[in-house]
Amino acid sequence: MVVRLSEQWPEVSPDRLLSECVPPPRFADVRFSTYRPDPDEPTQSEALAALTERGTHLAAPRRTRSLWSRLRSTPTDGGKPAIYLDGGFGVGKTHLLASLWHESAAPKMYCTFVELTNLVGALGLRTAVDALSSYRLICIDEFELDDPGDTMLISRLLGQLVDAGVEFAATSNTLPGKLGEGRFQAVEFLREIQGLAARFDVRRVDGPDYRHRGLPVAPGPWPDEKVEQEAAVRRNASCDHFVDLHRHLAELHPSKYGALLDGVETVAITDIRPLTDENVALRMVVLADRMYDRNLPLLASGVPLDELFSKDMLKGGYRKKYLRALSRLVALARAA
Task: Identify the pLDDT of residue 135.
Answer: 93
Instruction: Note the pLDDT of residue 217.
Output: 67
For residue 68, tell me if it sits in a domain: yes
How many structural domains does the chain have?
2
Using 50, 70 and 90 to split pLDDT, how confident is the model at 255? confident
Confidence at residue 210, expressed as pLDDT on a 0 to 100 scale: 58
Range of the domain at 271: 5-14+216-335
Burial class (CB in 10 A: 0-12, 13-18, 19+), 33: exposed
How does pLDDT run across 12-52, given as a tens digit for each residue? 887 888 888 999 888 999 999 999 998 999 999 999 999 99
Rounded mean pLDDT, 76-95:
76
In the chain, % of residues over pLDDT 90:
48
pLDDT, position 31: 96
- Same domain, residue pair 39 and 178: yes
Would you state the pLDDT for residue 241? 98
CA distance 190 to 32: 35
Q: Is the pLDDT of residue 77 over 50?
A: no
- The pLDDT of residue 146 is 59
Q: Which of 150, 174, 207 is the last residue of a domain?
A: 207
Looking at residue 159, what is its pLDDT?
86
The answer on 53 and 180 residing in a single domain is yes
Q: Are residues 304 and 199 in the same domain?
A: no
- Domain for residue 118, yes or no? yes
Instruction: Say if residue 46 is in the same domain as residue 184.
Output: yes
Main-chain dihedrals φ then ψ at residue 235, nearest 5 degrees = -75, 135
CATH for 181: 3.40.50.300
Of the candidates 96, 94, 100, 139, the one whose C-alpha atom is nearest the C-alpha of residue 292 is 94
For residue 196, what pLDDT is reported?
65
Q: Is residue 22 part of a domain?
A: no
More confident residue, 16 or 90: 16
- Predicted local confidence at residue 283, as pLDDT: 93
Question: 132 and 50: one domain?
Answer: yes
Count of CB atoms situated within 10 Å of the CB of 42: 11
Among 183, 207, 231, where does a domain finish? 207
Residues 176 and 292 in one domain: no
Say yes or no: 269 and 146 in one domain. no
Res 85: pLDDT? 87
* 173 and 248 both lie in a single domain: no
pTM for the full model?
0.75
Q: What is the pLDDT of residue 8?
A: 96
What does the pLDDT look like over 170-221, one tens digit per residue? 887 654 455 444 433 444 434 555 666 677 788 888 887 555 544 446 888 9
Q: Based on the fold, state whether residues 115 and 201 are members of the same structural domain.
A: yes
**Lowest-confidence segment of 116-130, 143-157, 234-248, 284-298 by average pLDDT:** 143-157
My answer on whether 167 and 51 are in the same domain is yes
Which of 162, 181, 207 is the last residue in one of the domains? 207
| 167 and 93 within one domain | yes
End-to-end Cα, the chain, rounded Å: 18
169 has pLDDT over 60: yes
Decide if pLDDT at 119 tops 50.
yes
CATH label of the domain that carries residue 324: 3.40.50
Q: What is the pLDDT of residue 161?
A: 92
Q: What is the pLDDT of residues 259-306, one digit of tens each?
A: 999 999 999 999 999 998 999 999 999 999 899 989 999 999 999 998
pLDDT digits over 296-335, tens only?
Answer: 999 999 999 989 999 888 888 788 788 888 988 999 999 8
| Alpha carbon distance 293, 290 (integer Å) | 5
Report the range of poorest mean pLDDT among 81-85, 237-241, 328-332.
81-85
Burial 266-300 (b: 16+ CB within 10 A, else e): bbbbbbbeebeebeebbbbbbbbbbbbbbebbbbb
What are the residues whose beta carbons fall under 8 Å from the beta carbon of 118, sequence distance 6 or more? 17, 253, 254, 255
pLDDT classification of 106: cutoffs 50, 70, 90: very high
156 and 227, same domain (yes or no): no
